[in-house]
Structure 1
Amino acid sequence: MLTLFRWLSRWPLWLLHAVGACLGWLTYLLSPSYRHRFDLNAAQAGIPRSRVRPAIAEAGRLLTELPYLWLRPTTRALAGSVTWDGVELIHAAHAQGRGILFLTPHMGCFEVSAQLYAEAYAARHGPITVMYRPARKPWLRELVATSRNRPGLATAPATLAGVRQLLRALRRGEAVGLLPDQVPPDEMGVWAPFFGRPAYTMTLAARLAREDGVAALLAWCERLPRGRGYVIHLSPFAEAPPPGVAQAESAAAINRAMERLIRERPQQYLWGYDRYKTPRRATPSGDDHKD
């Protein structure tokens, strides 16, 4: 599999995206369970079908661009194919010596943001540390570990040790990246509304956003058509809850921020992601909506 990924990493981005669009539609048409979850999640959000339909192809592009992003030579920089929208927020945080917390939904190309930050700022301001959940399959776990081992980019597991690693990075004035709409492990989340339905939501994002000296930014990477590259959109996390707010209320504020980003560009959200699943040892929400 690693050999296949290395071969695909040499393909031009426009060709990878063309293949990915076909793969996205094939998966949608041939997998009833995936199609059902995709349609159900989009309907739950109340977004018109015409605005969600392009996300079918975008989900395939998300997969086929991974060889390019993970295994391209380190000398092949992203800077030529990615632009920033709101980069002054990063400069302001650095000027104040603050750590930066990037909060990114499963939207667009969420792999690019951390890599571009590492290329542009790690040499001067330290690496960016990104939390991840190790893949279950050994071959995929090895591939991900190998591909994400890039200069200026550190990873932290979704464990208590990983949480401590993120806190230390922020307190050093470094950057940290999270996917706050990712279903957290057992006992690391609470139930909070997401598009009107209870979703098990991490408490970590709000906790980190409340840390002293942290600039919390919403970030998502737009995938441009025909392989023309990407645009990283940044905005302040204005919904950051103050200290003393209950965990469920803080998690709801995180979800509202993610909803706002998703509503702006639902064409690039990963609607097939199983956002409403219940972790094995988590107490069920009591929601009687069955998938």
Structure 2
Amino acid sequence: MSDFNAVIESLFRAASGLSLPLLHRLGSALGWLTYAASPTYRRRMRAHVAQAGLEWAHARGAVASTGRMLAELPRLWCRPADQALGDLVRWEGVEHLETALSARRGLVMLTPHLGCFEVIAQAYAERFGARSPITALYRPARQPWLRTLVAQSRDRPGLLTAPATLSGVRQMIRALRQGGTVGVLPDQVPPEGMGVWAPFFGREAYTMTLASRLVQQTGAAWLLLRCERLPAGQGYVIHVSAPQQPMPPADDPVGAATVVNQEMERLIRACPHQYLWAYNRYKAPRAQPAAESGGEQP
């Protein structure tokens, strides 16, 4: 198995040298191959699109987009820390970030699994990290070789990481109270005991309370971000917007989770052809390992 992992890692690193247009072409083929080969995958993707009230034609591009998301990871994760993203990324709505950072009361950035969400933390660190470092929540990969690559991808100036554990939550709260920035993807199913049931596209989904509690416990500002992948490997556009609703108080966790879900829905509807519709968003939460127990309180 170690030899197999070594081969996979070598292939992954070799793929990092391919151009982004080529990786995206390969990813498109991978996405459609997976869609064609797996009836379960296909049914889930179509069911989730229908649950959102969208026509399949509006979300059909997500089949190829999911493959592109996987294919671009070698280039993003293995990119040397001193190699700037530069013109590969442009920002829209950056004035919202400027205003929030100027207030110096901490900033929570929320983004769904849409487009190239992996590039957001890197691009933020490159542009704003010296001013206010970002702490990104992550769950360590099970495979040792993959853990090494992920750690390398996030070992960059202005970019810190926090594990998805109680200690990681405390780390993020400290960062916010010191005026820092944290990044969270709130549209993933958290472990049992770390979320509440709240509607997501009209169906109850187990939703993390972490995103709202970070705002409620620290008084930090919060913004919504989505990273749209441009066609033909031309790069990415990061869209920044302010929430359209205030965050409910801490004594209403379901209301707060509902607001966060509604804001995620708004971002997804703006770019449905790049959302990760195949993710099993409505599954039951997994049991939380004992080492991670204790909830989200700091």
- TM-score per shorter chain, which class? over 0.9
User: Does 2:47 match 1:43?
Assistant: no
Distance 1:51 1:34 in 2: 18
Q: Partner residue of 2:244?
A: 238
Q: Partner residue of 1:198?
A: 204
User: Does 2:264 match 1:258?
Assistant: yes
User: Does 2:25 match 1:23?
Assistant: no
Alignment CA distance shift 1:156-1:93 (3 Å)? same
Contact 1:191 1:201 in 2 (8 A): yes
Structure 1: gaps (5+ residues) = 283-291
Q: Partner residue of 1:112?
A: 119
Which of 208, 224, 227 in structure 2 is aligned with 1:221?
A: 227
- SS in structure 1 at match of 2:223: strand
Query: What is the aligned-residue RMSD (CA, Å)?
Result: 1.5
Aligned length: 281
Deviation at 1:242, TM superposition (A): 3.2
Deviation at 1:136, TM superposition (A): 2.9
Contact 2:111 2:226 in 1 (8 A): yes
User: Does 2:272 match 1:272?
Assistant: no
Which of 166, 171, 176 in structure 2 is aligned with 1:165?
A: 171
Q: How does 1:58-77 map to 2 (within 5 A)?
A: 58-77=65-84
User: Does 2:29 match 1:8?
Assistant: no
2:75 alignment partner AA = Y
Q: Partner residue of 1:53?
A: 60
Q: Partner residue of 2:149?
A: 143
Contact 2:141 2:147 in 1 (8 A): yes
- Matched-pair identity in %: 58
Q: Partner residue of 1:156?
A: 162
Deviation at 1:146, TM superposition (A): 2.9
Deviation at 1:159, TM superposition (A): 1.3
Could you list the per-position Cα deviations for residues 55-89 of structure 1 after superposition, in whole angstroms to 9, with x for gaps in the alignment? 10000000000011110122221122100111111
Alignment CA distance shift 1:75-1:142 (3 Å)? closer
Q: Partner residue of 1:34?
A: 41
Deviation at 1:140, TM superposition (A): 2.5
Normalised TM-score (structure 1):
0.92
Q: How does 1:60-99 map to 2 (within 5 A)?
A: 60-99=67-106
Distance 2:101 2:245 in 1: 21
Distance 2:217 2:234 in 1: 37
Of 30-39 and 209-218, the range deviating more from structure 2: 209-218
Distance 1:19 1:145 in 2: 25
User: Does 2:213 match 1:207?
Assistant: yes
Contact 2:31 2:63 in 1 (8 A): yes
Contact 1:209 1:240 in 2 (8 A): no
Q: Partner residue of 1:131?
A: 137
Distance 1:50 1:2 in 2: 36
Contact 1:158 1:185 in 2 (8 A): no
Structure 2: gaps (5+ residues) = 1-7, 289-298
Deviation at 1:241, TM superposition (A): 2.1
Of 61-70 and 233-242, the range deviating more from structure 2: 233-242
Distance 2:161 2:250 in 1: 29
Of 99-108 and 237-246, the range deviating more from structure 2: 237-246
Normalised TM-score (structure 2):
0.90
Contact 2:187 2:207 in 1 (8 A): yes
